[in-house]
Amino acid sequence: MTFRYISTFFLFIVCLSTQAQFKLDLEGGAVFGTNYNKVRIPNTGGTLVNLAEELSIKPKAFYRIRVGYTIKRHNISALYAPLTVKYDGSFNQNVNFNNLVFLAGQPLEVFYKFNSYRLTYRYDFISTGRWKVGAGLTGKIRDADVRFKNESGDTHYDDLGFVPLVNFYASYKPTYRWSFIVEGDALASKFGRAEDIFAGAAYQINSKLGVKLGYRVVEGGADVDKIYNFNWINYASTGLLIQF
């Protein structure tokens, strides 16, 4: 009897493993602009500036790595998404940032870092030959830093914290090789909001390898006691989709 239970258990594990998939999503491209990046640190007493309007930004390459594991309709993934953009120029007013005053007209550089580490669980409520629609939860570690630097001063403010998000995914396959995808993480509260959304198309080269191309937007920020910061970052995105 014991042998029978053990055999049944191992048969169950083997059946699950045949239906499971490891996935690798390698994404890259260019940060080609920011609609706005409003910063005021400290929130009380600091100077509100819009880095996207008052300074210049150059296109910058970016990359992301997502590792995933799927069993039937259950999806677990981990994401590493680093990002640092650089602004330069000068302000037309004196700016108090992090209790250090940067004078109007003086050239300066601003380094804006927004690294993201995420763990996601998603359940696919719909999973047919053409449609896949799912939702879940994401736990995000935000590693942010804003640095102002010129000849007369150099100061920065870093912020490391946890953010819960709602994950969503929808894809439509009109043919075996082509699919259209909308996916992302998002949530809003009275203290701020966060959205990271991709929309694009994917082409399946073979059963193991696909490519994707689309647009990604990261938008959101926080309005709390210590800081005020809201940004909108645009990405031109491409990537490889690998299944094992």
Is the separation of the CB atoms in 168 and 197 below 8 Å? no
To the nearest 10°, report the CA torsion of 201, 204, 207, 210.
Answer: -70
Write down the pLDDT at residue 4: 54
Which tens digits make up the pLDDT trace of 165-223? 999 999 999 999 999 999 999 999 988 999 999 999 999 999 999 999 999 999 999 99
pLDDT of residue 19: 59
Residue 189: strand pairing partners? 192
Report the distance separating Cα 86 and Cα 200, nearest Å.
Answer: 27
Superfamily of the domain at 22-243: OMPT-like (2.40.128.90)
Q: How high is the pLDDT of residue 3?
A: 44
Strand partners, 83: none
Q: Where are the domains of the chain?
A: 22-243
Rounded to whole angstroms, what are the CA distances from 80 to 67, 118, 131, 177?
9, 7, 27, 27
Residue 1 has a pLDDT of 47
Instruction: State the pTM of this model.
Output: 0.88
Most distant pair of Cα atoms in the chain: their distance: 84
Low-confidence ranges of the chain (pLDDT < 70): 1-19
- Residue 114: predicted pLDDT: 93
The pLDDT of residue 59 is 80
